């Protein structure tokens, strides 16, 4: 029972264009959502987050959107850069501080 789903295993985008990574969840009790970025042979690193009481959070080139009615989360990267090529994980947190991650989306930004 995958509570957090990333249905696109991979995504390729041209440098300078927008990258949109999607995430769906099933548990309406999640109170916080996060995106992590992972390079090979390294641990995941925190990218951006959003509380369940908000619908948008922006940090530089990265914006996270939350649609609670659809139980859908998305990460927008504008403009995309070759250094953004990595695996991106979305995560959701329960009220008991349990963090559940998705299966990841591999982003490749083409120069």
Footprint of other proteins (CB under 8 A): 2, 6, 32, 34, 36, 41-46, 49, 89, 91, 93, 96-104
Strand partners, 20: 76
Instruction: Give helix then strand counts, H and E, for the chain.
Output: 0, 11
Closest to other proteins by CB, 15 or 103:
103
Q: How far is the CB of 104 from other proteins (least distance, A)?
A: 5
Separation in Å, CA 93 to CA 51, 54, 110:
10, 15, 33
**Among residues 2 and 12, whose Cβ is nearest to other proteins?**
2
Pair of tokens at residue 41: 């042979």
The residue among 60 and 98 lying less far from other proteins, judged by its C-beta, is 98
Beta carbon nearer to other proteins, 28 or 96: 96
Burial status of residue 101 (CB atoms within 10 A of its CB: 0-12, 13-18, 19 or more): middle
Residue 97 CB, shortest distance to other proteins, in Å, is 6
Please, what is the minimum distance in Å from the beta carbon of residue 12 to other proteins? Answer: 19
- CA pair distance 66, 23, nearest whole angstrom: 10
């Amino acid at each position: 029972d995958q509570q957090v789903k990333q249905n696109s295993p991979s995504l390729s985008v041209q440098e300078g264009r927008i990258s949109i990574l999607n995430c769906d969840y099933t548990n309406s009790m999640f109170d916080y959502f996060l995106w992590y970025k992972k390079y090979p042979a390294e641990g995941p690193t925190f990218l951006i987050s959003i509380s369940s009481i908000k619908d948008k959070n922006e940090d530089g080139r990265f914006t996270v959107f939350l649609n609670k009615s659809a139980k859908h989360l998305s990460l927008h990267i504008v403009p995309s850069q070759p250094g953004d090529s990595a695996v991106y994980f979305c995560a959701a947190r329960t009220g008991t501080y349990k963090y559940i991650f998705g299966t990841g989306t591999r982003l490749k930004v083409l120069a």
